[in-house]
Amino acid sequence: MNSLIPLFIVVPLGSAFIMAILGRFIKDFGKYLINLGLLFLVGLTVKLILNSQETLIYKVGGFANAGDIPIAIYMVVDGFTKILLLIISVVGFLVALYSISYTKQYTAERKFYILYSLMLAGMYGVVVSGDIFNIYVFLEIASIASYALVAFGIQKQQLEASFKYQILGGVASMLILMGIGFIYWSTGTLNLADIATQLTADTIIMKFIAVLMIVGFGLKAAIFPFHAWLPDAHSSAPSPISAMLSGVLIKAIGIYVIFRIFFNMFALSYEISMVITVLGTLSMIIGGLLAIGQWDMKRLLAYSSISQMGYVFLGVGIGMLVLAQKGNPAVAAFSILGGLFHLLNHAMFKGLLFLGAGAVEYRTETRDMKQLGGLSEVMPVTAGTSMAASLAISGIPPFNGFFSKLIIIIAAVQAGYVTLALLAVVVSIITIGYFMKMQKYTFFNNDGSFWKNKKIKEVPFTMAFAMILMAALCLGMSLLAIPTIRDIVLTPAVDALMETVQYSKTVIGI
């Protein structure tokens, strides 16, 4: 099973190179190759989740340790990694399926799928790497591919958004690389597990490194106040890429790494835990408030992503605070469970919302809700799936978002943070407000005078089918609230973070 881990990188990376060559001669080769590759990786991810509860380790090149020094580049898959692999594989596949019809409007389809494959390879590489420098390398692969994809339509708005994204992404990369340099200077190693055994002293340099990492990866995750690039990039990108940026990328190269290093590399501290919780709370509130006034569908969804990632940070941050203060481990585990559950849920319903917005734009050529209305009559699949995703993200039962938000709120009360629980409820009410606004002005509201002269109809089959599958997942993932199913998917991820020192013992035996 360990030897299968490199396939998560080899399949998309190899596909990109094959597309670059054979795609020149075989029409539509790339779009079907990436779909087959991702379908295989979905199956592989499910196999890893169902068949292996232990941590899987692959040493690139097969090098043995030199005494206590890990020489090989490690690839590590534990319970937390599997959650991210599931998000990347499932959302990546459904977005690729949606793109089969969507990308016909572009003259350079082959290049779209090459860049898409490279972005996937980068994200997979980040989450399986057990080496902090290789996390940086794969992060850059994913980031550079995403810069190009944001600008893929080469319109003025897209080029401007990509430029802003590149500038802030470059700043983030510089800060991360500086942090890695200080870590290597302090410890003489780049292996995450080996670093964890040496970063024990609470010194000024360690605090400085922690700040660099929070700001650097916070920019990649687009949490407040590091979110300036996100609204433009997510709203301007082609809709399949918007779905990947919001549903997957900010999680894989931002949130995942923050949680990994502050649970399994740095020693848990009250100060860092408080910073994570405060950033989550501010993101949750401010992102929601900024979304209210938006009339561009995709821009509303982009600000909503900031708010929803705030819920994730709030849930995990409260768990960190409880652990840092030697509180009840069961409460900490419950709060972290809520945060990770919402991380998984958000990938599905936000991905679906961006695909729905893309379907509307695909047929009407506008995202301005003031110009829309009445589309439910001519685009029933898009309207129905968008409504399902809106209910899910708003926390309406029986959709998945209800259960993850409920867990976060209950955990906050149990941990004694009643004010944070109340804020989470208020922001959820605000979320209902702006998504009902989106539904009203886009799919209902008027007699359809905008579209009657344009002969608008439902989107092609592959686009509609991908949205239907995502809507089914928004409902089906509610089953993760059942303990038996939760223990298979979510509990191993919680355990991987809760057992902070076990990571090093498992990976390098120290």
Q: What is the mean pLDDT of residues 280-292?
A: 91
Q: Which sequence spans correspond to the domains of the chain?
A: 2-508
Write the secondary structure of 281-335 as one string of H (helix), E (strand) and C (coil): HHHHHHHHHHHHCCCEHHHHHHHHHHHHHHHHHHHHHHHHHHHHCCCCHHHHHHH
Residue 201 has pLDDT above 70, yes or no: no
The pLDDT score that the predictor gives to residue 89 is 93
Over residues 92-147, the pLDDT tens digits come to 999 999 988 888 877 777 888 899 999 999 999 999 988 888 999 999 999 999 99
Query: How does the average pLDDT of the chain come out, rounded?
Result: 86
- Start-end of H helices in 188-249: 192-198, 204-221, 230-236, 239-244
Tokens in use for 306?
Answer: 């900031």
The pLDDT score that the predictor gives to residue 95 is 93
Q: What is the DSSP string of 427-455?
A: HHHHHHHHHHHHHHHHHSSS--HHHHTTT
Tokens in use for 71?
Answer: 């020489």
Tokens in use for 63?
Answer: 């090098």
Residue 361 has pLDDT above 80, yes or no: yes
The pLDDT score that the predictor gives to residue 21 is 87
Q: What is the mean pLDDT of residues 390-406?
A: 89
Q: What is the DSSP letter of 370?
A: G
Residues in the chain: 510
The pLDDT score that the predictor gives to residue 449 is 61
Residue 77 in 3-state DSSP? strand
Contact 216, 176 (CB under 8 A): yes
pLDDT band at 79 (very low <50, low <70, confident <90, very high): confident
Backbone phi, psi, residue 24, to 5°: -70, -25
The percent of residues in the chain predicted with pLDDT above 70, rounded, is 95
**Range of lowest pLDDT (221-230, 304-313, 396-405, 443-452):** 443-452
The pLDDT score that the predictor gives to residue 429 is 92
**Range of lowest pLDDT (26-40, 65-79, 197-211, 399-413):** 65-79
The residue whose two tokens read 């902090």 is: 132
Tokens in use for 9?
Answer: 């990188």
Contact 395, 401 (CB under 8 A): yes
The pLDDT score that the predictor gives to residue 354 is 92
Q: What is the mean pLDDT of residues 217-236?
A: 85
Q: How many CA atoms lie within 13 A of 78 on its CB side?
A: 26
The residue whose two tokens read 């799928």 is: 113
pLDDT band at 405 (very low <50, low <70, confident <90, very high): very high
Tokens in use for 115?
Answer: 């860049």
**Cα–Cα dist 430/441, whole Å:** 17
Torsion of CA 221, 227, 229, 232, to 10 degrees: 110
Higher pLDDT, 365 or 287: 287
**Cα–Cα dist 63/52, whole Å:** 24
**Range of lowest pLDDT (59-68, 330-339, 483-492):** 59-68
Higher pLDDT, 244 or 70: 244
The pLDDT score that the predictor gives to residue 337 is 93
The percent of residues in the chain predicted with pLDDT above 90, rounded, is 37
Contact 364, 458 (CB under 8 A): no
Tell the burial category of 468 from Cβ atoms under 10 Å away from its Cβ (0-12, 13-18, 19+).
middle
